[in-house]
Amino acid sequence: MSVARAAGLAEQLSSFKRLAAGVPAPGFPRNEVSGASARFRDVAISIGDWYLTQLRADVNLIRSHAAQQEKAVLGRFYRLLKDQRDYSAHPADFDRAVEAQAWRDDVQRSEGTQDDDLVHALLDELCVALDCLCVVAARIVRNTSQSQEWQQLAALSPEEEIRAVYANLGRHLPENRVTFVARQFSKHPDLVRARSPQERANVGELVALGVLVAPLRVPYDEILDEFGLVGDSRASALLLIAHGVQASGVPEARLIPVLGGVWDAVQRAGSSA
């Protein structure tokens, strides 16, 4: 239940970022933190890397517009998560081992001694922080200048732009590949003609798919949204077909209706195979 709630709040936060900045937030590492075999050590490291590294710029911006009580909630969770991640990764030489172990002892005194209890406790704390971020993010969306600030932040980093594309495609981009893929994106010849964050995102989609074709004339995430495939593993297949439909000469206004017919045919063929 905690995993589902955390994933739902993460998606809600991503939606707020998409509304304000035109791009989604990095995807929640659901696969890494769910399942009976998930160990607390691995969960703490996965959530820590996601929240403290991938979401860092977004969290910092949101926190800068938070009220004092909200800042206190976010600050407390930051310290807790950083302690648990770093203690899990380096238990022998972590300088806040006493504080990190004290939280674990408190959880196990009240909940039990199972590893699952620590996982659920950390996820509950994450949900509190994500809920707080969503409350502040909703205010940012309604504020033009703050939304523009978020948009500018998102546009500053090629790494963030390419992470957003991969998240929309339902694909995981390992952190050790981010710099390489972002460099390919930054050097893409179509990027010099991009005049908006959305046009840049459509170039990022080409890089993620690895295709040498013209960028889509329709926002790629609008296509995914139309078909309910944002963050779905089938997103790449749909977009590859969309590029084929566009290359065949179908006008922009007809792209989605024609694509719908082709996609339905592909789905029927797949189900009957």
Can you tell me the distance from the alpha carbon of 112 to that of 126, in angstroms, rounded to the nearest whole number?
Answer: 20
Which of 183, 130, 179, 147 lies closest to 17, judged by CA? 147
Length of the chain: 273
Does the predicted model carry a pTM greater than 0.95? Answer: no
Position 156 scores a pLDDT of 64
| Burial class of residue 221 in the structure, from the number of CB atoms within 10 Å of its CB (0-12 exposed, 13-18 middle, 19+ buried) | buried
The string of pLDDT tens digits covering residues 90-142 is 887 677 888 989 999 988 877 656 788 899 999 999 999 999 999 999 999 99
Position 268 scores a pLDDT of 87
Position 111 scores a pLDDT of 61
**Residues in the chain, pLDDT under 50:** none
Residue 133 in contact with residue 59, Cβ under 8 Å? yes
Position 22 scores a pLDDT of 85
Question: Two tokens at 234?
Answer: 């089938």
